[in-house]
Amino acid sequence: MAKRLDPRWFPNFTDKAVIDKHMGELDVHGVSRREFLALASYGAIASVTAAALGMPAVAAADAGGRIAHLVMTQRLEYCVNADAGAQQAAKALDMRLTSLDGQLNSERQLNQFEEELAAGVKGVMLHAPGGGSIRRIAQLANKNKVYLDNTWGTLPWFTPFDAGDYYTMYAVPEEFSAERGVTEEVCKAVMAKYGGGSIVGVTGVPGNSTDLIRSRGRDDALKRYPKVKLVGELPGNWNREDSQKAMDALIARYPKIVGVIAQNDDVADGCMAALRAAGMGPGKDVFLCGADGTTRGAEAIKDGALLATSANVPAYMGGLLATRLYDVIHGWRPRASERMMNWRSVTMTRVNVDAYLRRYVKNGGVEPFDYRKMSKVVHPKDWDPQAELFPMDIDLEWGGIPKPQGWTYPAPYLRARESGEAKAVREEYAAHYKIKFFGPSPMKKG
């Protein structure tokens, strides 16, 4: 007698509440009800069919692979913009991407990673608030043969080579020179209008590796402007609300400030709100810079309130990490020099902000990158990083941060430097870089 599928085995997916219940339990972000319903129905049918035929349980396969994005927090515009880039890249490469809010909590992200392992994910992109969980996450990734790439907050001097082959990449913008560049813009404006003066800093999360290198870049720039004095700083924890409170406190202590170094654009947004409340005009009485190149940051530059930001383009981070996962899942293997990489930020001011707005903000829904062309699997000969991407110098990245006792340079990293591989990789990526970061979108017709 033929075995039949029994519809009583299925959840009632005609009921909106049933769909929402399942989506909530899975902590799904970035998936519509229609997409969830299609995937759930396909998976259920496949599993029931297998059972009816006496076969082991099967999972619904997708062509590109299932990956997850562990987002530092969805409170920050940068993170939202970066996740949008990851979602666009995943869609272009036929991958399914689940985005999960880490709420600035490393332990929560570790739990999310373990849940994604259990769910059968093939790759995970991590954007952590700090280095609290990266070692354990990397160990679990290698043990379970799940690819991991990581950006921003990490454990200084802990490299992908220390964890194994499945920690495929750590990538961040080169922040030392980027922060130095935007700080110089503030210093030049302060000198031109006031001939010098007192400035303050509002930083990110204390101890965060990116925050530390940005402070070093800021301080390096200030050495060239002895008449511009950094008189105080407080942490803004990368978000608008905490930064506004920090700026309020700094204004109370230093009421005659003429400049603010805000260490990301969300921080700058909070600082500008505090200055306005105190009757001090951002861009008129007080000059500010930010970092990252968010939508609000670019708009504030256009409006004249923000002087400069280091535009590393959040969507690029999401696209780069998602594309790397696609490539390694599909058999491509990076050289040592491709496992720790930087990309170059652009100092954005009123001179070039219009180009940024046209491509990344007011773009009529045109995606800013050709994500498929980022892939070395899809485009093995004419791949294009679409930004200046190059091997990381870890002494520049983490210089000034004490090394752990007994730490030595990873052998693959040293070999790549000494053999000329790192230089060759830098030149190769430069040769493939055709679609310019601040040029028109490659997806724009005509």
pLDDT digit string (tens) for 401-423? 999 999 999 999 999 999 999 99
State the average pLDDT for the chain.
Answer: 89
**When comparing pLDDT for 339 and 9, which is higher?**
339
How far apart, in Å, do the first and last CA atoms of the chain sit?
61
Rounded to an integer, the average pLDDT of 298-309 is 98
Rounded to an integer, the average pLDDT of 143-158 is 96
Helix (H, G, I), strand (E, B) or coil at 222: helix
Rounded to an integer, the average pLDDT of 81-97 is 97
**When comparing pLDDT for 3 and 206, which is higher?**
206
Rounded to an integer, the average pLDDT of 166-192 is 98
* pLDDT exceeds cutoff 80 at 30: no
* pLDDT exceeds cutoff 50 at 53: no
* pLDDT exceeds cutoff 50 at 34: no
* pLDDT exceeds cutoff 80 at 62: no
Confidence of residue 16 (pLDDT cuts 50, 70, 90): low
Look at residue 9 in the predicted model and tell me its pLDDT: 40
* Least-confidence region, from 35-49, 85-99, 240-254: 35-49
How do strand 389-391 and strand 340-343 relate by DSSP bridges? antiparallel
> In CATH, what is the architecture of 66-174+313-432?
3-Layer(aba) Sandwich (3.40)
Report percent pLDDT > 70 for the chain.
86
Residue in the block written with tokens 């160990």: 139
Confidence of residue 400 (pLDDT cuts 50, 70, 90): confident
* pLDDT exceeds cutoff 80 at 232: yes
* pLDDT exceeds cutoff 80 at 117: yes
Look at residue 409 in the predicted model and tell me its pLDDT: 97
Query: What residues does each domain of the chain span?
Result: 7-52, 66-174+313-432, 176-311
Domain 66-174+313-432 matches domain 176-311 at the CATH topology level: yes
Look at residue 445 in the predicted model and tell me its pLDDT: 84
Rounded to an integer, the average pLDDT of 342-348 is 97
Residue 57 gets which letter from DSSP? Answer: P
* pLDDT exceeds cutoff 60 at 23: no
Confidence of residue 438 (pLDDT cuts 50, 70, 90): very high
Non-local CB neighbours of 17 within 8 Å, separated by 6+ positions? none
Rounded CA separation 231/154 (Å): 29
* Least-confidence region, from 42-51, 255-264, 308-317, 350-359: 42-51
Asked whether 239 and 258 are in contact (CB, 8 A), the reply is no
Helix (H, G, I), strand (E, B) or coil at 84: helix
Rounded CA separation 287/298 (Å): 15
* Least-confidence region, from 63-77, 95-109, 343-357, 380-394: 63-77
Kindly report the pTM of this predicted structure. Answer: 0.82
Report percent pLDDT > 90 for the chain.
82
* Helix intervals (H) in 314-362: 314-329, 353-356
Look at residue 407 in the predicted model and tell me its pLDDT: 97
Look at residue 130 in the predicted model and tell me its pLDDT: 87
Tokens of 229: 């004095």
Rounded to an integer, the average pLDDT of 276-301 is 97
CA 327 to chain centre: 18
Rounded to an integer, the average pLDDT of 276-299 is 97
Look at residue 63 in the predicted model and tell me its pLDDT: 61
Beta bridge partners of 343: 173, 389
Confidence of residue 17 (pLDDT cuts 50, 70, 90): low
Look at residue 207 in the predicted model and tell me its pLDDT: 86
Look at residue 46 in the predicted model and tell me its pLDDT: 37
Rounded to an integer, the average pLDDT of 278-289 is 98
Rounded CA separation 177/214 (Å): 9
Residue in the block written with tokens 């006792």: 405
120: region left, alpha or beta (phi > 0 left; psi from -120 to 50 alpha): left
Rounded to an integer, the average pLDDT of 296-316 is 97
Rounded to an integer, the average pLDDT of 359-377 is 96
> In CATH, what is the architecture of 176-311?
3-Layer(aba) Sandwich (3.40)
